[in-house]
A and B are shown apart, each in its own frame.
Chain A
């Protein structure tokens, strides 16, 4: 049976694609590319992903997809029977695309910045200020998403979707002091629901061992 290869690292944005592969029941193997090591810059890995980031997904036909959100979209299209991504033309598709992109393009940048302050400014004082504005931005962005959802228990209703995986993953990567659990009780409940899924829980335990 054709097999996927997921280039990943623990506690990174490969967690959602990995959990989705498990939920689909697709055969896959993992290739670990530890973050912040020269392994990201080897010619072999740069041929897979020219930016040198994880995740990347090698498809059974030899094509590669990069970017966590794009991998989730593509897996949804390749495995419509799993029902984890609204297919093109379905009523939930626009909302799904909107919030998946929001998570990747709007929430994730300050989530990542928090851990890489020195990539933006030098000096302890400037970095402390950047940390503060970055936390404020995260809090504001999560609040806007909280206001847009009434999970029951999942974001799109009674069935889990790849949007739950992406949201839970980026929430787990967020700054602790952004107060996600208190400020976003509905999203936190949806996060807890997807994290309890039997195919997701083992992936999450491995990726986010500090999560409750």
Chain B
């Protein structure tokens, strides 16, 4: 494959991949190519993936020019900042900027680690009973993390106001993982309502349908 350094290269899972960075590329109208990674084989990452991320995890993005960014939140902020139009990250002097940065990091540093512990309990606990308990405690923490976020927002209709941002995409993606959807609708009705217009955006909907098995 010839390397084109004028476009983004996203290392993405085939089905059930991390949809938010991919949808963001579509939303900002970026040119990109996808390197498909078999998510069922991530215990044995390919040399191609290891070359860009020594942890062997996805997503990974090579920015135009070749700089590698891992971590969904980091790459979403970087992609949004590269495209002032449409503005998917509030400008640095915008009043929404503190909340944007704070909640992007909140999701990355609190919600996502709990999701990971729930899905990959076997990485930190060996016996079946310990794994069950790690999962149970991870779910408890995840529910609390979502409830804290629910209490902090009054979406209108998006999380930060009239305009959608990368925070809507990231929230929508993480809220489709691990958490029971009936529970989420019940306990986090404002967050659940805010993800509706984001997920139904014509550029987001096909990505969501492709990547979330439980997407209606």
Instruction: Judge whether A93 and B105 touch: CB under 8 Å.
Output: no
Instruction: Judge whether B101 and A129 touch: CB under 8 Å.
Output: no
A66 to B107, CA, bound (A): 12
Among the stretches B29-37, B66-74, B197-205, the one at the interface with A is: B66-74
Q: Which of A88, A89, A97, A120 has the most CB of B within 10 A?
A: A120
Q: A99-140 vs B: 1/0 string, CB under 8 Å?
A: 011101110110001000001111000100110011001000
List A contacts of B108 (CB < 8 A): 101, 104-105
Q: A147-171 vs B: 1/0 string, CB under 8 Å?
A: 1100000000000000000000000
A contact patch SS: helix
Q: Chain B: which residue is nearest A78 at the CB level? A: B92
Query: Within 8 Å of chain A (Cβ to Cβ): is B137?
Result: yes
Among the stretches B122-130, B156-164, B207-215, the one at the interface with A is: B122-130
Instruction: Judge whether A66 and B102 touch: CB under 8 Å.
Output: yes
B contact patch SS: helix
Instruction: Judge whether A120 and B106 touch: CB under 8 Å.
Output: no
A104 to B113, CA, bound (A): 10
List A contacts of B125 (CB < 8 A): 120-121, 126, 129-130, 133
A97-B137 contact, Cβ under 8 Å, with A51-B148, A104-B108, A105-B112: no
Q: A29-58 vs B: 1/0 string, CB under 8 Å?
A: 000000000000000000000110000000
- Chain A: how many interface residues by the 8 Å CB criterion? 46
A64 to B99, CA, bound (A): 8
Query: Within 8 Å of chain B (Cβ to Cβ): is A189?
Result: no
Instruction: Judge whether B102 and A70 touch: CB under 8 Å.
Output: yes
A95 to B151, CA, bound (A): 33
Query: Within 8 Å of chain A (Cβ to Cβ): is B26?
Result: no
List A contacts of B77 (CB < 8 A): 97
List A contacts of B92 (CB < 8 A): 77, 87-88
Interface size class of B (residues with CB under 8 A): 35 or more
Query: Within 8 Å of chain A (Cβ to Cβ): is B23?
Result: no
A91 to B97, CA, bound (A): 21
The 8 tightest CB contacts between A and B, nearest first, are A101-B74, A67-B105, A105-B108, A101-B71, A109-B113, A70-B101, A97-B74, A88-B81
A95-B67 contact, Cβ under 8 Å, with A105-B109, A121-B134: yes
A74-B101 contact, Cβ under 8 Å, with A51-B148, A121-B130, A121-B137: yes
A126-B152 contact, Cβ under 8 Å, with A89-B81, A94-B67, A97-B77: no
Q: Chain A: which residue is nearest B80 at the CB level? A: A88
Instruction: Judge whether A130 and B74 touch: CB under 8 Å.
Output: no
List A contacts of B152 (CB < 8 A): 50
